[in-house]
Amino acid sequence: MTLITPALIGLLTLILTVVLTSFLRRYALSRQLIDIPNSRSSHSTPTPRGGGVAIVLVFLIGLPILSKLDIIPISTLWALLGAGTGSAVIGFLDDHGHIPARWRLLAHFSSATWGLYCLGGFPPLLINLPFGYEPLVFNLGWLGQLLGLFYLVWLLNLYNFMDGIDGLASLQAITTCIGGALLYVLTSENYAPALLPLLLASAVSGFLIWNFPPAKIFMGDACSGFLGLILGLFSIQAAWLNPLFLWSWLILLGVFIVDATLTLLRRFLQGEKVYEAHRSHAYQYASRYYKSHKKVSITVSLINMLWLMPLALWVGLSKLNPFVGLILAYLPLLLLAMYFNAGQREHK
């Protein structure tokens, strides 16, 4: 396979997503699928939603092509196709009419279970030890499968929580996928596995043209949860190839993981209903403070590329202990989230 083939696939993916998003925007306007600003919104202009369906459709269409070209194994094809479709369908239905939380969670766990099963379950954890000691490998058994299941469901939901300002979720997915692709390129002579995250990055880039601040259309639950689940499955698939890669992906997803987790914990400890809509994430406070979605989304992208990506690559290349790398990545993010009052009640 020459470089022309993946480059052509990436270009066609981007163009197809741009065109399909345009059609979905017209569909949303005709069906009045509009997000009307309210007291819990981070936007001030009525905006159509559901454009992320373009990402879902184009990415899922691309998977059989990658499989036919022997770029991804059949197990990965079925894992992403089945889990991605399940999460996207429940999100699409929720976009068009409210689905009770218990049914959404059932669909989330079912999709995650399917994806985890097709990938062979949760991989063993590897921890590098200092002073020249041999790395420790932990096979967690059934506990690992439960951990993997809740990990995937949490990523699915936190990505939904973090999709609250223009361009943020799209840029997070693009930078994370680029970091994941670099892990493959820098650690192996076989570049084929890098094409899977690059396929998703290309699809999201096509949507970003419409979603970059000020957004002309929002992603919607059909895609935000889909992205969280797919990125989680990417990380598990990568860990089967190299156990250190799981730590690298956790670092790449650091901004979303830290902000969403701290916000949820604080709201829970304050006795608030964690499943209710709110705007108390750090990124939401920051966007109001700076009166700009663009500044916050671009800043997060710079953090991802200039801070988290080098740490993730260093860990993946066995140059840095994964625990040390995770602490170096998360501690500044935690302090930043606390500075912007993540999870605190908004004072009127």
The verdict on residue 219 lying in a domain is yes
Q: How many CB atoms lie within 10 A of CB 31?
A: 11
Distance CA 262, CA 343 (A): 7
Average pLDDT over residues 310-338: 95
Domain membership flag for residue 18: no
Q: Quick check: is 30 in a domain? A: no
Query: Quick check: is 75 in a domain?
Result: yes
Give which of 12, 8, 48 is closest to 31, Cα–Cα.
48
Mean pLDDT of the chain: 91
The number of distinct structural domains making up the chain is: 1
d(CA 70, CA 316): 24
- Secondary structure (3-state) at 10: helix
133-183 confidence digits (pLDDT tens): 666 777 878 898 999 999 999 999 999 999 989 999 999 999 999 999 999
Q: What is the pLDDT of residue 280?
A: 92
Residue 13 lies in a domain: no
pLDDT, position 46: 86
Q: What is the DSSP string of 32-98?
A: T-EE---TT-S-SS-EE--TTHHHHHHHHHHHHHHHHTTSS-HHHHHHHHHHHHHHHHHHHHHHHS-
SS3 277: coil
Task: Give the confidence band of 131 by pLDDT, cuts at 50, 70, 90.
Answer: low
Give pLDDT, residue 59: 98
CA distance 51 to 210: 9
* Residue 141 placed within a domain: yes
pLDDT tens digits, residue range 49-91?
999 999 999 999 999 999 998 899 999 999 999 999 999 999 9
Structural domain containing residue 109: 48-339
Q: Does the structure show a pLDDT above 60 at 1? A: no
Residue 345 domain-assigned (yes or no) = no
Q: Say yes or no to pLDDT of 40 above 90.
A: no
Who has greater pLDDT, 82 or 272?
Answer: 82
Tell me the per-residue pLDDT of 169-186, one tens digit each, with 9 for 90 and over. 999 999 999 999 999 999
- Asked if residue 162 is part of any domain, the answer here is yes
